[in-house]
Amino acid sequence: MPLDELLGKTAEQIAFEGIASAIIQGRNKEGASSSAARTIAAVKTMATAMSAGRKERISTGIWNVNENPLTAEEVLAFSLQKIEVMAIEALKIQAEMAEEDAPFDVSPLTGKARTDSGNDQNHPLASTIPLEDWIKKYSLASPGDQANHFGIAVVVQLRDPIRRYEAVGGPVVAVVLATQSGIEENNYNEEKKFKVTSLHIGGMNGKSGRKRNLWDSERQRLTATQWLVAYGLGKAGKKGKHVLSKGQDLLWSFSSRIMADMWLKPMRNPDVKFTR
């Protein structure tokens, strides 16, 4: 169902209303104006990042990247174009049209180890915090600081603007990993700068027979297939070699890394199979 049928608004309208709301809150609440300004700046940065170098990449197929270090807030914008391309490849996996199958299957990690707060430390979200909180705590360099690496996780849902921003395929998770660029000893208390090292995208394929699956429903597979065929990115009737037996769910993923200031071709990772 299109988003405007659920909410009476398109995704674009919701985005602009969110910016307007941030501005109004910034005027009405003391100290909130800086948050509103960051929201607007982030939207502008992402819009610029989506067009920067796009024509050259399309014409040459070479994914050169800007070598300048980034602030924590710029890391996601820097990766948007690659996320977009890899999300389309993710559609092929959802539609079972992927050109590359997983090299092999693995089982999930078993057993639980608890953190001091009682959480399962093996859970992938056990140590996550909002980006704004991370920036407040760790964005400034300091002696003995161990926060030299960080990752940003976002949920990505492709939408078709021609069909009133109707969702295409199911949601996927994108994880951008970055490492801190060198800081001179005398430059402590300056904002940290990072370089993106890799991008990982993953999702679920479900065959366990559960009625509700937000990540992999039959409708999502159908919209992914229809969109790929309509735009010449997949062939009708083509199915991948990988077949799941009934009762199994799997976590699929693939990754791309940056080497010599260039994005490398994404590579499929082993699938993680779950049994009921």
Find residue 275's DSSP bridge partners.
248
**Is the pLDDT reported for residue 31 higher than 70?**
no
Which range, 19-28, 64-73, 138-147, has the best average confidence (pLDDT)?
A: 64-73
**Is the pLDDT reported for residue 2 higher than 50?**
no
**Is the pLDDT reported for residue 188 higher than 80?**
no
CB 89: neighbour CB atoms within 10 A? 17
201-239 in b/e form (b: 16+ CB < 10 A) is bbbbbbeeeeeebebbbeebbebbbbbbbeeeebeeeee
pLDDT given for residue 25 in this prediction: 56
Mean pLDDT across the chain: 77
Assign 255 to helix, strand or coil.
Answer: strand
pLDDT given for residue 257 in this prediction: 96
Q: Please name the residue that has the structure tokens 């976002």.
A: 154
**Is the pLDDT reported for residue 114 higher than 60?**
no
pLDDT interval class at 132 (50, 70, 90): confident
38 vs 91, 134, 187, CA distance in Å?
32, 15, 24
Tokens of 89: 């490849």
Read off the pLDDT of residues 116-126 as tens digits, 9 standing for 90 and up: 555 566 666 77
What amino acid occupies position 87?
A
Q: Please name the residue that has the structure tokens 């926060």.
A: 147
Which range, 12-16, 81-85, 215-219, 241-245, has the best average confidence (pLDDT)?
A: 81-85
Q: Whole-prediction pTM value? A: 0.76
Percent of the chain with pLDDT over 70: 67
pLDDT given for residue 123 in this prediction: 67
What amino acid occupies position 242?
H
**Is the pLDDT reported for residue 26 higher than 70?**
no
Beta strand extents in the chain (DSSP E only): 105-106, 149-156, 159-160, 166-167, 172-180, 194-206, 248-257, 267-268, 271-275
